[in-house]
Amino acid sequence: MNILHDLHELVGANVITSETAHQISDYYKKRQTNSPGGKNKQLLLFGILGAFLVGIGLLFIVANKWEELPRSVKTACAFLLLIVPQLLCVYAMYKKADKVVWLESTALILFFAVCANISLVSQIYHINGDASTFIFTWMMLTVPLVYIMNSSAVSIGYLIGILSYSFAVRFDGNALLGDHLTWLLFLVPIPHYFRLIRSSSESPLTKLLHWVIPGVLTLNLGTVVTNFGELMPPVYFTLFGIFYFIGSGNYFRNRTPEQNGYLIIGTFGSIITLIVMSFQSSWEKVSSLPHPFGTLSTAPEFVAFLLLFSLASGILYREIRDRGLGGLRIMEVAWFLFILIFVLGFFTTAPVFLINLAVFATGVLMIRKGAGENNLSTLNSGMIVITILLICRSFDIDLTYFVKGLMFVGVGIGFFITNWWMLKKQRKNEAQ
């Protein structure tokens, strides 16, 4: 780790004592040895990769004469494929219980072995079925591994599998639980996730879960669309507002953006929604919707909005109670302002101007924040937001090519100037 290389410099500068340096070094060496990030992880992962390659090779060899084998031999092969990973899991639980890599790897092998077993048995006995039934059966048989093996890898696979099931239901219409009850399946691994958060786990799989959970929920939200897809912008914007609240909480406050999927998805999801709604055509679809309290009030999209609005309102109330109105940031109330603008879109065309103004203001605020924090990524993100807004408006505003060219040249010069100024500022701070 980089901090281990800096310890001698910190001791020489009298920032820390030699004893403290030894304690820090011992702590990180112990953590590296016991965590999935140690050298043993690479050896084990390559061993697993070798085992997979051997297994695939054997499958190809068997497949060469598969049709000639009797049904009993085929069945034995299918269940042997399932039994061996289970024995590996038992070995890991009792002999390698303190090795996270062993638990995660063996659980993941069994996770995919169950998939292969179901496929083989279905092929051997000619059991017909659709994709949604297959995925549902696979996920229900393997989700106990999340808690039996304490496996974050399986929880990630399960969440992606349930997302696939949710989409498969939309295509084949064979929902074993009902279209909207599939949302309950996403709750199964959440206690495991909360346990990881309470233990302040720094595992790469935990960090990946911080991205998978908001990403899966965002994608699956599209499955509630029935007849009123035009109502989804405030639904998504409210969801992104909730993600922003979570990503700004105490747990994620001191984490890097790469470890905070909630904040990144919440922020850029909100920006993308604003850009989509900055077009006049988007608001023409909104104005064509029926009265908000007529047939629209019973639509699944409206029900989803009410649920998310209630959750976001509860979080906002707690933040106001703890910090007061003056302590709120603009992104923490942006979802509520967007809803007001969206409702206004039922009666007037003013929201088009307001949304474009909001996108521009978002870009400016990001540039200002990046400049204040000496963060080139945030500053350039703000510049990119303004550039995208400019590109969008160049399509639906009747301007000459000369004027459009001047606009793009101005933004391009702005990129060069702001980055040059930021780099100069960083070098000046480093020299002090």
pLDDT at 64: 63
Compute the distance between CA of residue 41 and CA of residue 39 in angstroms, rounded to an integer: 5
Please answer whether residues 22 and 86 qualify as being in contact, where contact means their C-beta atoms are separated by less than 8 angstroms.
no
179 secondary structure, DSSP code: T
CA within 13 Å, CB half, 233: 23
> 180-194 pLDDT, tens per residue?
678 889 999 999 999
- The structure's pTM equals 0.80
Residue 34 reports pLDDT greater than 50: no
pLDDT at 195: 92
Nearest CA-CA partner of 162 in 142, 135, 192: 135
Kindly state the average pLDDT of the residues 399-425: 75
Kindly state the average pLDDT of the residues 321-347: 85
296 secondary structure, DSSP code: G
Please answer whether residues 362 and 383 qualify as being in contact, where contact means their C-beta atoms are separated by less than 8 angstroms.
no
Please answer whether residues 107 and 145 qualify as being in contact, where contact means their C-beta atoms are separated by less than 8 angstroms.
yes
> Cβ-count burial of 298 within 10 angstroms (0-12 exposed, 13-18 middle, 19+ buried)?
exposed
When the pLDDT of each residue in the chain is averaged and rounded to a whole number, the result is 80
More confident residue, 34 or 144: 144
More confident residue, 2 or 260: 260
Backbone angles phi, psi at 196, to 5 degrees: -65, -40
Compute the distance between CA of residue 57 and CA of residue 389 in angstroms, rounded to an integer: 52
Show the tokens assigned to 232: 């989804």
Q: Angle 300-323/330-344 helices, nearest 10 degrees?
A: 140
Give me the residue label for tokens 């909730």: 242
Percent of the chain with pLDDT over 70: 78
Q: Where are the domains of the chain?
A: 65-224
Please report, in angstroms and rounded to a whole number, the separation of the first and last CA atoms in the chain: 26
Print burial letters for 395-429: b (CB count within 10 Å at least 16), e (below 16): eeeeeeeeebeebeeebeeeeeebeeebeeeeeee
Nearest CA-CA partner of 21 in 31, 32, 9, 33: 9
> 115-155 pLDDT, tens per residue?
888 888 888 887 877 888 889 999 999 999 999 999 888 99
Residue 62 reports pLDDT greater than 60: no
Most confident range (mean pLDDT) of 3-12, 238-247, 322-331 is: 238-247
Please answer whether residues 154 and 108 qualify as being in contact, where contact means their C-beta atoms are separated by less than 8 angstroms.
yes
Please answer whether residues 212 and 205 qualify as being in contact, where contact means their C-beta atoms are separated by less than 8 angstroms.
no
Please answer whether residues 338 and 362 qualify as being in contact, where contact means their C-beta atoms are separated by less than 8 angstroms.
no
More confident residue, 313 or 41: 313
